Chains A and B, each alone.
Chain A
Amino acid sequence: MFEFFVHYALGNIPDWLWPALAGGAFVIWFFAGVISHLPQFALYAKLIKPLAFIAMLTGVFMYGGAGVIAVYKADVIEAQHKADIADEKAKAANQALSVAVANNKHLIEGRAYGVRVIIQKDKEKIDRDCAKINTDAWEDYNRAIKNSGSKILTGDKK
């Protein structure tokens, strides 16, 4: 119920209502003070004065709250503006990185292809002195290739 009151009722009350309430209550409070000097109205004045004071206090209190909310809202708008700019910058940085990675991939694969062409060209010369690799040699070589780490990542419980 309180949540509903705070979020929906208070959120939809216009800010000008609070100074109007405080001002109106002040006027009533003031005139209640005036008429309290008249014997025939003194009894009403005694009743009205504290009510007007409470209404005035409520109006000022809520107006103060509205002022604080206005400051918060301005801060939130500024923070959201900064967040939007950061989002745009992040997209631009990602785009630049994406292009750089794609270019480097193209370059690395191109160079590997170039080396492969040279190896094929020099194949006869290379194999002339070593026509057959010792079985132990390629087994050791493959053993080195299979030197991978654990696949368990940080945070995994399994």
Chain B
Amino acid sequence: MKHVIVAMLLASLVGCATKVAPVNLKWPDAPPELMEPSEELTPLNPDQTKLSDLIDNANTNYSKYYLLKDRFDSWQQWYNSHKQIYQGAQ
């Protein structure tokens, strides 16, 4: 009788586990604003030879830089926030 009880206990402990359903953790989408292609800087037109034209062109290019910088910073923020969320889901 003792052997039977021991055999039953062992059998229950090594019982086969066969089915484990997968967890569906989706890769997050990036905001569409961050997926826009980057703009090239605007060169100075050879016909525009005045200093005001140069300053105006520099102003255009500086604004492009700041737009790109903002998107770059946003990508870092996106990565950090989603990394934090992902780690919280572990």
CB of B31 within 8 A of CB of A101, answer: yes
B30: chain A residues at CB < 8 Å are: 94
Closest Cβ–Cβ distance, residue A118 to chain B (whole Å): 9
Known: A93-B85, A105-B33, A127-B50. A87 touches B26 (CB 8 A): yes
A115: chain B residues at CB < 8 Å are: 59
Residue of chain A at shortest CB distance from B9: A60
Closest Cβ–Cβ distance, residue A116 to chain B (whole Å): 6
CB of B40 within 8 A of CB of A148, answer: yes
Chain A contacts with B in 100-158, Cβ cutoff 8 A = 100-102, 104-105, 108-109, 111-112, 115-116, 119-120, 122-123, 126-127, 129-133, 137-138, 141-142, 145-146, 148
Q: Which of A69, A119, A126 contacts B18 (CB 8 A)?
A: A69
Interface size on B, residues (CB 8 A): 60
Closest Cβ–Cβ distance, residue B69 to chain A (whole Å): 9
CB of A97 within 8 A of CB of B7, answer: no
Residue of chain A at shortest CB distance from B71: A101
Grouping DSSP codes into helix (H, G, I), strand (E, B) and loop, the A interface class, with mixed when no group exceeds half, is helix
Q: CB of A35 within 8 A of chain B? A: no
- Residues 72-94 of A, flagged 1 when their CB comes within 8 A of B and 0 if not, give 11001001101101110111011
CB of B67 within 8 A of CB of A85, answer: no
CB of B59 within 8 A of CB of A119, answer: yes
**Measured CA separation A132–B46 after assembly (Å):** 11
CB of B71 within 8 A of CB of A112, answer: no
A79: chain B residues at CB < 8 Å are: 23
Closest Cβ–Cβ distance, residue B26 to chain A (whole Å): 6
B19: chain A residues at CB < 8 Å are: 6-7, 10-11, 69, 72
- Residues 57-79 of B, flagged 1 when their CB comes within 8 A of A and 0 if not, give 00111110011001100100110
Q: Which of B55, B63, B66, B78 contacts A97 (CB 8 A)?
A: B78
Closest Cβ–Cβ distance, residue A3 to chain B (whole Å): 10
Chain A contacts with B in 29-74, Cβ cutoff 8 A = 29, 53, 56-57, 60-69, 72-73
**Measured CA separation A154–B9 after assembly (Å):** 56
Closest Cβ–Cβ distance, residue B16 to chain A (whole Å): 4
**Measured CA separation A7–B45 after assembly (Å):** 70
CB of B89 within 8 A of CB of A146, answer: no
User: Which 3 A-B residue pairs are closest in the complex by CB-CB distance?
Assistant: A64-B15, A112-B63, A64-B12
